[in-house]
A and B are shown apart, each in its own frame.
Chain A
Amino acid sequence: MGLEFLVRVRRVSLAAAAIATLIVATYVTPLAGLGLACGAAWSLINLALLQTLIVSVISPAPMLPPAARRAGFALLGLLALVPAGAWLLFHTPALWLTAGFSLPLLAIVFKAGSRAVLESRAWAALTRSPWRAAALIAALLVIAWWALPAAFRTERAASASGRAATPAVAGAMQGAEAAAKVEGAVAKAEGQEESGSQKFPNALELVTRAFPHQRWAQVLHHYEAVVFALFVGLMLCVVGFIASRNPQMVPGPLQNGAEALVEQLYDFVVGILGPSHGPRFFPFLGAIFVYIFAMNLFGIVPLMDSPTSNLSVTFALGLTVFVYVQYVGVRSLGVVGYLDHMLGSPRNLTGWILAPLMFPIHVLGELAKPISLSCRLFGNIFGEDMLMVGFATLGIGMLSFAHLPIGMPMHAIFFPLVLLTSGLQAFVFTVLSTIYILLMLPHEEHGHEEAAHPAH
C-alpha cells in the first residue's frame, strides 16, 4: 500500500481514460471525448498535487526549505486548478467532464475492492483448484457476453431517439426495431468513414471533428503531415538534448542508446565515404536516418500519423538531398569540374563525341534521384498504413455481431513487419543519399570504394 498504490492507480486510470476517450469520441461526439479527457486529466493532476502536499507535510522535516517549497507549489497548483475546472465546466459537456473526473476515483475504488477480494480466504479457496477457477472464468465470460450487449443496446436505444439519424427513418420505425436499424446505419456509416478517409483517425482529425467550424482547426487538419513532421523533429531535438546534456563516464540507458546509434551510423557512413570525407557529411546523413526512422514509426503510435505517408513530406526530404548533393558537387568539383562531371568526364576523342549524349542522360539521372527517393519512401510507408487499416477494419468486422464498441486487434500481427519496413526504408534512404554524395565527390580518392559497389 502507500505511494506505490497511488502510482498504480495513476497508471491504470491513465490507460482507462485514454481508451474511454477514444470510445466516447468515436461513438458519441468528439467534444464529449475531449471533455472526458479533460476531466480525467484534471482529476489526475489534482490527485498528484494532493499527494505531493501530503507527502511534504508528513515528511520528517516539514519546515525545511525543500519540503516547504514543494508544499507551497502544490497549494498554488491546487488553487489554480479551481478556475481551470470552472472554465472546463463552462466549455465542455458537463456530464462527460464529470465522468472523466470520477474515473480515477473509480479506479481507486475498484483497486481497493479487488485487493480486498484477492486477499480474502474465499478467493484463495476458489482459485486453489484449477477446475474451480476455470468454471469461475467461464461463468464470468457468459455473464459478460449476455450483460454487455444488452447494456449497450439499451444505451443505444436511449441515444438513438435523441440522435434520430434521419427524421424519415426515425419517424417510420418504432422502439427496438428503430434502435436496431439506427445501430446498423451507424455501423455502416462508420465502416464507410473508415474506407473513405482511408487512414486511422489521428489526434488532429479528432480536434477538427470537435471544432468543425473553426478556421484554425481546418488549417491544422489540412497541414497535419507538416504538423506531425515538426512535432517529430521537436521530439528528437528534446531527446537529443536530454541524452547529451550531462554525459557520464558510465552512461545511463538513454545516453547509452544514443551513443550506440550514433557510433553505428558513423562507422557506416565513414565506411562508405572514407575517413577523409565521412565526418564532414555524417551529421546530415545521420540526422536523415534518425528523422525518417522516427517519422515512419510515428504511424503506429496511437492517435498519431506517420508524416512520411504523405507525398509532400517525402518529396521535401528528397528535394533536400537533391539540392545538397548538387551543392556538394559544385563545392568539391568547382563549376568547371561539375560541368565536366555532367558531360561524363571526357578525356579523349570518343569521350568528346559522346559528350552531347551523356549530358542529357546525366541531367535526367540527377532529376530522377529525388523522385525515386521520395516515391519509394512514400509508397512503402503508405502501403504499410493501408495494410494496417485494412486489417483493423477486418478485426472490427469480425466482432460486429456482438455489438460491442471493440474489435479484434487483427493489425497487431503486422507490427513486426512495420518495424522492419520502417527501419529498412530509413536505411535505404540514407544509403542512397550517401552514395549520391559519394558519386559527386572527386573520383580518384575513392577508387577502391567504387569497386565495392558495382551496382553504381
Chain B
Amino acid sequence: MNFQAALALGLPLGIGIAAIGSGIGLGLIGSGAMQAIGRQPEATGKIQINMIIVAALAEALTIYAFVAMLMLNGLIK
C-alpha cells in the first residue's frame, strides 16, 4: 500500500471515527439538557445557551478532523 492509497483510505475513515466520538458527546449533551429542561422548565433559556456552547465544543472535534482532511486532501493525486 503506497502513501496515497493509505491517505485516501485513512482520511474519510478518520472523519468517521471523529464523528462517532462527537455524536456520542452530542447525544449525552442533548439528553442532559433535555432532562434538565424537563425538571426545571423555567430555566430553559439558560440551559439552552449552555447546551449550545457545549455542543459547539463537542462538534468542533469533528470539524478539526474535517479541516485536517481538507489540508491533506491535496496530496491525493
- For B65-77 the 0/1 string (1 means CB < 8 A from A) is 0110010000000
- For B39-64 the 0/1 string (1 means CB < 8 A from A) is 00000001001101110110110011
B60 touches A453 (CB 8 A): no
User: How many chain A residues have a CB neighbour from B under 8 Å?
Assistant: 19
B50 touches A453 (CB 8 A): yes
A379 touches B52 (CB 8 A): no
Within 8 A of A (CB), among B6-61: 46, 49-50, 52-54, 56-57, 59-60
**When chains A and B are docked, how far (Å) is the Cα of A428 from the Cα of B51?**
11
B46 touches A375 (CB 8 A): no
**Majority SS at the chain B contact face:** helix
**When chains A and B are docked, how far (Å) is the Cα of A380 from the Cα of B60?**
9
**When chains A and B are docked, how far (Å) is the Cα of A435 from the Cα of B54?**
12
Within 8 A of B (CB), among A405-456: 424-425, 427-428, 431-432, 435, 452-453, 455
A382 touches B52 (CB 8 A): no
A428 touches B66 (CB 8 A): no
Contact of A428 among B46, B52, B64, B67 (CB under 8 A): B52
Contacts of B50 in A (CB 8 A): 452-453, 455
Contacts of B52 in A (CB 8 A): 424, 427-428, 431
Given the interface pairs A452-B46, A453-B50, A455-B50, the reply to whether A432 lies near B56 with Cβ below 8 Å is yes
A376 within 8 A of B: yes
A375 touches B53 (CB 8 A): no
Contacts of A435 in B (CB 8 A): 53
A96 within 8 A of B: no
A379 touches B66 (CB 8 A): yes
B53 touches A432 (CB 8 A): yes
A372 within 8 A of B: yes
Contacts of A279 in B (CB 8 A): none
Residue of A nearest to B64 (CB): A375
A383 within 8 A of B: yes
**When chains A and B are docked, how far (Å) is the Cα of A9 from the Cα of B70?**
47
A101 within 8 A of B: no
B53 touches A376 (CB 8 A): no
B63 touches A380 (CB 8 A): yes
**When chains A and B are docked, how far (Å) is the Cα of A428 from the Cα of B70?**
23
**When chains A and B are docked, how far (Å) is the Cα of A455 from the Cα of B46?**
13
A293 within 8 A of B: no
**When chains A and B are docked, how far (Å) is the Cα of A427 from the Cα of B50?**
12
**When chains A and B are docked, how far (Å) is the Cα of A380 from the Cα of B63?**
7
A455 touches B70 (CB 8 A): no
B67 touches A379 (CB 8 A): yes
Residue of B nearest to A431 (CB): B53
Given the interface pairs A375-B63, A376-B60, the reply to whether A382 lies near B70 with Cβ below 8 Å is yes
- Residues of chain A having any CB pair with chain B under 8 Å: 311, 372, 375-376, 378-380, 382-383, 424-425, 427-428, 431-432, 435, 452-453, 455
Q: A375-B63, A424-B52 are in contact. List 13 more A-B contacts (CB 8 A).
A: A375-B60, A375-B67, A376-B63, A379-B66, A380-B63, A425-B56, A427-B52, A428-B52, A431-B52, A431-B56, A432-B56, A453-B50, A455-B57
